[in-house]
Structure formats: structure tokens, C-alpha cells
Chain A
Amino acid sequence: MIAATGPHIDVEALSPLLALTGGGLVVLLVGLLRPRVVREVLVPLLALASLAAALGLAIWQWDADEEIIAGALRVDTLALAFTAFVIVAAAITVLLSWRAVAPREAAHGEYYAMLLVSAAGMSVLVQAQNLVSLFIGFELLSVPLYVLCASEMRRSSSLEAGLKYLIIGSVGSATLLYGLALIYGATGRTDFAAIADALNSVGGPVSDPLFLTGLALSVVGLAFKVSVAPFHQWTPDAYEGAPTPVTAFMATATKVAALGVIIRFFDVALINAQPDWAPALAALATITIVVGNVGAIGQTSVKRLLAWSSVAQAGYMLAGIVVGTQHGIEAVAFYLAAYLVMNMAAFAVVVARARETGLGDAIEALEGIGQSKPLLAWPMTIAMLGLAGIPGTAGFIGKFFLIDGAVDGDYAWLGIVIVVGSAVSLVYYLKVVAAMWMRPAPRSVPVLAGGAVDDPPADAPAGPRAAGGEVTLVAVGCAAGPVVFGVLPGPLFDIARDAAAAMSHLF
């Protein structure tokens, strides 16, 4: 009889993940209790507590650089920084959901538990350094999000968003899985470092059609998930139909996680095949920037506008990955953080105005708030200017780094595409700003009485109501981010540099 020993479990390195999953379980069970105050106050508070614990543990682990679970996950500064971004996004989502319709309809316990589990999936994803854990992370991220999209069960557009996201997401997952299987078939390895070695070997599979097909299919699968054009068609519909807090979470945290895993997948596992994938990714980034910015121009719904804008922003950030340098990854990490707070500020304002006006997410809901609601108008203005990349905001510095990284990595033309794309984006970002400051407030606010409207706009089932202080707090707090880091980018830049330092094999 062989004396067997259990594997070593590094509980410390796993702790942020354990806090998220454990929090999800507790929240699920507490949500079953009868009293209303428990469900509506204690459950979100517990969700916030577990997110705070996970954030604290991630920061406590900051200098870690180790492989855990037999090399399936890697805890390094890149993973921890991106995990921290995801946790911040999830915490903001909890605040935006506090008085939202979705958790009430889908039951609070389930709603917040799925949010936490999705965040845990994102954390797995950014730590993944193995094809299998990559796929598990993607599924753990996606499946709760499909349900969250459809969580406003009485509104048909929410169900439609959930169903669309489910079908397209499944197609993306299947494509990705097929691609990963072919890469495994070509290289014979699942962990990223071994794949890189296999690709580096003389006469290796770099030009093997099997490997290239796998590479192409996994690029397509990942492109579906990050909504990179031409695989972005689901984005506006899913973002518009989903409850606004969920949209905010999808637009920010999913992008962080997916770009995090793209960095690791392309810049670690496939770095030796960079000449093969870099032109393809650069072309995708260009198409994405063009399609996203042009698509956003004609939108009248702020959520759709932000959805298209997020497509374009994903294109900007892909540019930092194309070049395959530490500089590019630094720029991506910096831009992701800026993008996260700017989008969260914008979505918080959308949530607040949808509740106050009953106009849903139409751009009319923002008209005239420059005079009447400066605490909402300023955050939205800062968010729009930041996303457009106006100097003085973190968006400008982030774009500057991205363009610098692209030029540095011999992709100067991609830098030019980013500049042109940003110029075009001013058309629709300034449209929102103009609506807030230069148009009078609508005189009468239509109250949607039930029955007449077949499909009321998002977040407006019951007419005007108070926005809630926490939403204004999120808007102001998140808008402070781009301004502070736009003037003093130092602290955020240090985080980005630490994150990129984890990719020490790159230049």
C-alpha cells in the first residue's frame, strides 16, 4: 500500500477567492430568511462585507508571486491588481443595486450570491495560467451573468437580454473551447508556460495548421466575450435590456477579467507565436475602434451609447496587448482602472435619472440636469470627457500610455487609429454633455401607467421615485477618480507598473 499524502493547499494565496465564494454561499443562505430587513439590508451588507474582505486579502497578498492548485492558477501582482479592480466594480454594483428592481424580483439572496460568484469567476480568470482553469473561469463568470441579465423577470427586454447573452455567450464559449482543444492538440500541454516552451522549440508547432486554427478559434471565442467587433452584435441589446446595475458590472468587471486573461493567454502562452496573432489582433482592434465609435453616434439610449462606447474602448485596450510589451500591459492596466471608474460614474447617473424621471435610460432623462442636479451632472460630464480622453482626466493619461505603448511596439498606425477614434467619439460623448448643460429640463415628466406601454424603458416600472443617496455617492466618488488620477497619476501608475512587472519575461 502506497502511503499517499494530500496536496499542499496554499490557503493564503487562495484567500481572496475563498472570501468571494464563501460570501456567495452565506449570502445565498441568509437570503432565505423571512424578515424583510434581513433580505433588503443584511444581504447586501453581507455581500459588501465579503467583497471588502476579499479586497483586503488581495491587498495583503500584494507581493505574492506563486503558483497554486498544481499550477492551475498564478497569484501575482497582475492577477491581484485585476482581482482588486473586479472587486471594486462588484462593490459599486452592490451599491447601485441597493434600491433597484432587479434584486427584489429575483430575490435578494440569489441576486447578490450570483454577483459574488461571478466576481469569483473573474478572479479565477485573471489568475488562470492553464487552458482548463481559463475555461472554468469563463464559465463561472458567464453563467451567473446570464441569469443576472434576466433578473428583472417581469420586463420582457430583460429576459431578451438574458437569452441573447446566453445564446451568444454559449457560442463564444464553444468556439473558445474548440480553439483551446486544438491548441492542446498541437502543443500537447495545457499550462501556459509549457505551451510557450513547446512553441519555442525548433520545428515547433508555430506554423502547424492545427495550432493556427486553434489560435484563430480561441481569438474568436475571446472576442465574443470582450465584445470585440465583428463579434460585438450582442452587446448593445444585452447592455440595454439588462438591469442597469448589472450592465454596469458587465461593462466594467467583465472587461477587466477578459482583458486580464487575454494578457496572460497571449503574452505568456502564445508570446512565441506573436508574429502570427499580433497582426490579426491589431486588425480586430482597428475594426472594433471604428465600429464602436461609429455605432455609438446615432444612439438615443444612454445605455446603448455606453455599450457601443465600451466596444470602442475594448479596441483601444487591445492595442496595448497587441504589442506584447510590459509597457503595453502597464497601459492596459492603467486604462482599465480609469475606464472602470468613469463607466461606473456614468452608469450611476443613468440609474439615478431613470429612477427620478421614469424616462428610463433615454438621453432626455439627462436634459437640463446641469442646473437642477449638479451632483449628477458633474460626474456624468467628467465621465464623458474622461472616456473621450480630454486632458486633465485619467482617460487622457491612459490613452496617452496606450498610444505610447503602441508606437513603442512598432504599431504606430494603431496609435493613429486610437487618436482618430477618440476624435470621432467626441461626437457622441459631447452630445450627452450638451443634453445636460445646454437643454432645458423637460417640463412634464410622463408617468408610465401600467398597461399602455408594452415594454417600458429600462429601470422604469413604477414611475419617478427617489434615486437614493448611495447612487449619488457612487457617482461623485467614481467621478473623483478620473480627476484625481488625471492630475496625480502616480499612485495608479505604480499599481499598473506592479501589475506589468509580473510579466517579467517581456521587454
Chain B
Amino acid sequence: MLRSYLPALVFLAIGGILALVFTYANTLLGPTPRKTVKATYEPYESGLPSEVKRTFRFGISFYMIAMLFLLFDVEVIFLFPVAVKLREFGTFAMYEAITFIGLLAVAFVYVWRRGALSWR
């Protein structure tokens, strides 16, 4: 029975080989520029230089903003279909929406009391 795993192993091996080929084919086959300047290795040779470095730091407050954005963004996405079809579903959809808003309200109260809304 274990013999039937052979195709699976072949599958994995081919997958691995393909990945390696695609990774290194460009280096091996691609043209090497004779004169290299710094911009040669940039993703885009023209336009604004991409300034973001590995050590780039940004305020943790942005993380909070992103979390709050998620909170309210998701709320809108899910409430929109309910708003459109509220009449057909009747009270059921209303209770569902209230439950959903209630859950989000818990999250909102939490981030508020934890001070995520005050910019530091």
C-alpha cells in the first residue's frame, strides 16, 4: 500500500525541481549587464527611488489604526448585504445584524478603553 505514495513523491520532487529551476534560470540564462549602476538592481529603473529599507521604522500607532480600520471595514462589508436584503429575511436578519454589531461593539469598547483611539 505504501507503494501508492510513489506518485506523490514524484509530484513533490517535480514541484521542488520546478521551483529551483524558476529561481535560478534567470541568473543563469538572463543577460548580464556589462556596466552596472545602482539603479540596475532596483525593481524599477526610473521613477521615484524606493526608499524603504529593512530597518525602516514606523509608529506602532499605525498598527492600531490598521486594526480599527479592519474592525469597521469588516462591519461595512457584512452589513451591506443585510441592508439590501433586509426586507426578504425579515426579523431574522435584523437579529443577526444586531448580534454582529454587538460583537463589534465589544471590540470597539475594548480598543477604546485600552486607549487605542488616543494618538501617541
Binding site for B on A (CB under 8 A): 1-6, 25, 28-29, 32, 206-207, 209-210, 212-213, 216, 275-276, 279-280
Cα distance, A213 to B4, chains bound together (Å): 11
Cα distance, A6 to B88, chains bound together (Å): 9
Cα distance, A245 to B52, chains bound together (Å): 42
B87 to A, closest residue via Cβ: A1
Q: Tell me whether B12 is interfacial, beta carbon within 8 Å.
A: yes
Cα distance, A280 to B5, chains bound together (Å): 10
Identify which of B2, B8, B113 contacts A213 (C-beta below 8 A).
B8
Residues of A within 8 A of B5 (CB): 212, 216, 276
Do B11 and A213 touch (CB < 8 A)?
yes
Cα distance, A276 to B4, chains bound together (Å): 8
Residues of A within 8 A of B10 (CB): 209
Do A1 and B88 touch (CB < 8 A)?
yes
Cα distance, A210 to B8, chains bound together (Å): 7
Q: Tell me whether B1 is interfacial, beta carbon within 8 Å.
A: yes
Residues of B within 8 A of A6 (CB): 89-90, 92-93, 96
Residues of B within 8 A of A275 (CB): 1
Interface majority SS (helix, strand, loop, mixed), chain B: helix
Cα distance, A279 to B3, chains bound together (Å): 11
Within 8 A of A (CB), among B31-50: none
Do B103 and A209 touch (CB < 8 A)?
no
Q: Tell me whether B57 is interfacial, beta carbon within 8 Å.
A: no
Say whether, besides A209-B11, A276-B1, A4 and B88 are in contact (CB < 8 Å). yes
Do B11 and A2 touch (CB < 8 A)?
no
Cα distance, A426 to B27, chains bound together (Å): 57
Within 8 A of A (CB), among B1-28: 1-2, 4-5, 7-8, 10-12
Do B89 and A4 touch (CB < 8 A)?
yes
Q: Tell me whether B110 is interfacial, beta carbon within 8 Å.
A: yes
A-B contact pairs, 28 of them (CB 8 A): A1-B88, A3-B88, A5-B89, A5-B92, A6-B90, A6-B92, A25-B103, A25-B106, A28-B106, A28-B110, A29-B109, A29-B110, A32-B109, A32-B110, A32-B113, A32-B114, A206-B4, A209-B8, A212-B4, A212-B7, A213-B8, A213-B11, A213-B12, A216-B8, A276-B1, A276-B4, A279-B2, A280-B2
Interface size on B, residues (CB 8 A): 22
Binary flags per residue of B50-65, CB closer than 8 Å to A gives 1, else 0: 0000000000000000
Residues of A within 8 A of B2 (CB): 279-280
Identify which of B1, B11, B96 contacts A279 (C-beta below 8 A).
B1
B7 to A, closest residue via Cβ: A209
Residues of A within 8 A of B114 (CB): 32
Given contacts A4-B85, A4-B89, 20 further A-B pairs with CB under 8 A are: A1-B88, A3-B88, A5-B92, A6-B90, A6-B93, A6-B96, A25-B103, A28-B106, A29-B110, A32-B109, A32-B114, A209-B7, A212-B4, A212-B8, A213-B11, A213-B12, A216-B5, A275-B1, A276-B1, A280-B2
